[in-house]
Amino acid sequence: MLVAHVGREGAGLDRSLEELGRLADTAGARPAATLIQKRGTVHRAHYIGKGKMEELKALAAAVKADVAIFNDDLSPSQVRNLEAATGVKVVDRSELILDIFARRARTRESRLQVELAQLQYTLPRLTGMWKHLERQAGGIGTRGPGETQLEVDRRKVRERIAALKRQLEAVERERETQRSRRRREFRAALVGYTNAGKSTLFNALTRADVFVEDRLFATLDATTRKMVSPERRVVLMTDTVGFIRKLPHHLVASFRSTLTEATEADLLLHVVNAGDPDRARQIVAVEGVLESILDQPRPTVLVFNQADRLASSELAEGLRAANPGSFVVSALKGEGLDALREFLWQESAQRAGAAGAA
């Protein structure tokens, strides 16, 4: 599948489009061309201007792209209008991310969560786009030719959404029981931008064997392992799903139970890819997602990972100096991990001390 990217001029557009390319690649599409819309012109009916739409149609034909991926979110009617005018399938950023999550989901819980998010995304878009529904919600029993009545489909989708919510509530109750058992221990969670190296760091710290890949959203679940120091200090470490700019809010909502593993931790380790030129913007994006899911701020420490990709040790020193209390590590090379472990043991000891005093 070839795709054309459509981005809007603005700060960080290059990086943002590069990221969109990686997202498309993760979803199995091959970027063929890029189209940029000038800043400040959002058309209500078709998002981009008429001239741009013509350009998109011609460009898609020239490079034989059958899908156009937009770097922003589009309204259901914008998608319909764009598809009618250009003759290519139009996918917006949220749909692309949902698609990746659907491909990546392995466990029962993550599958339920992704399906819920997809259906909630689809529901307002059910306006006679039958093919769209079949692709989006395959397996929900709306495939037959006799089933393509809008009302029937809407009812079925709503019923399925209700059923998924019930199943997820049951999973959540199970998790809650587990969590209340763990509450006595010191809990730390790895959070951060997708592909920052959270799972690699998790494996290095806990000697676990969590799936790692140089693609976006390798992890969609929460995994917890116990770390024990020689002095028998305990830290329960959790690795979980990564964040991204403009993470679809349906996903954030339906992944609540997975994210709770992180949001209830005593300490958050915010893992950053130190070698990424887009690092500062990624930190801001992660802080934004955290703010939207935390009911109260949690103690957070920055961990600059992938330090081996920094050109010099002076750069690493600079990072540490500019961010007091942060750590600079290479999870891959095992560098800087002793200091981080030492810090975790101290935090754990402090918590045990506080609990003993109480």
Ligand X SMILES: Nc1nc2c(ncn2[C@@H]2O[C@H](COP(=O)(O)OP(=O)(O)OP(=O)(O)O)[C@@H](O)[C@H]2O)c(=O)[nH]1
Which residues here bind Mg ion, judged by CB under 5 A? 198-199, 218-219
For Mg ion, give the closer residue by CB, 219 or 254: 219
For ligand X, give the closer residue by CB, 86 or 224: 224
What is the DSSP code string of 299-332? -EEEEEE-GGGSS-HHHHHHHHHHSTT-EE-BTT
Nearest 5°: phi and psi at 226? -90, 130
Size of the site for ligand X (CB under 6 A): 23
Name the helix (H) or strand (E) containing 65. Answer: none
Note whether 8 and 71 are within 8 A (CB). Answer: yes
Stretch that binds ligand X, among 124-132, 133-141, 181-189, 209-217 (CB under 6 A): 209-217
Kindly give the pairing relationship between strand 67-70 and strand 89-91.
parallel
Smallest distance from the beta carbon of 39 to ligand X, in angstroms? 30
Q: Contact between 143 and ligand X (CB under 6 A)?
A: no
Smallest distance from the beta carbon of 191 to ligand X, in angstroms? 9
Q: Contact between 306 and ligand X (CB under 6 A)?
A: yes
Q: Contact between 336 and ligand X (CB under 6 A)?
A: no
Smallest distance from the beta carbon of 198 to Mg ion, in angstroms? 5
Kindly give the pairing relationship between strand 223-228 and strand 300-305.
unpaired
Nearest to 20 by CA among 58, 61, 70: 70
Q: Contact between 26 and ligand X (CB under 6 A)?
A: no
Nearest to 223 by CA among 195, 254, 244, 202: 202
For ligand X, give the closer residue by CB, 29 or 241: 241
Kindly give the pairing relationship between strand 186-192 and strand 223-228.
unpaired
For ligand X, give the closer residue by CB, 136 or 203: 203
Q: Contact between 194 and ligand X (CB under 6 A)?
A: yes
Q: How far apart are CA 233 and CA 163, in angstroms?
A: 42
- Residue 194 binds which of Mg ion, ligand X, none (CB < 5-8 A, kind-dependent): ligand X
Q: Which residue among 331, 336, 348, 351 contacts ligand X (CB under 6 A)? A: 331
Q: Contact between 195 and ligand X (CB under 6 A)?
A: yes
Torsion-angle region of residue 336: left (phi > 0), alpha (psi -120 to 50) or beta?
A: left
Q: Contact between 35 and ligand X (CB under 6 A)?
A: no
For ligand X, give the closer residue by CB, 7 or 192: 192
